[in-house]
Structure 1
Amino acid sequence: MTTAKPWIVEDNTKNKFLVNRNTFIDKDILKMERERIFDRVWVYVGHESEIPNP
């Protein structure tokens, strides 16, 4: 995991909220998201009738 820059920068006094772009490609973050989000709950992405060619 890259630690050179913070993953999130939030400064309410300047109305600033930035997400480091490496957050979206980091394998460790993906692993953590899978464990903490997708392994715990069902995530509704749509109904089968919305898929044109299932």
Structure 2
Amino acid sequence: LDDVFAELDSYHSQKIRELVNDGLQVLVASPRADIASEWPMLKPLKGFGAKA
């Protein structure tokens, strides 16, 4: 399992989209709602960032 940490510039954004298109599980974490909203095809995981 490879861990990749990158700022979501256009290059890395495209690379992550390629992983999603290949059917791999990708975790995108960001405190910013505008960045999270760019990834509508990703489902939020329960327990990650959920408010109690």
Common fold by TM > 0.5? no
Greater share of helix:
1
Structure of higher CA gyration radius = 1
Greater share of strand:
1
Greater length-normalized contact order (CA 8 Å, ≥ 6 residues apart) = 1
TM-score of the superposed pair, with normalisation by structure 1: 0.27
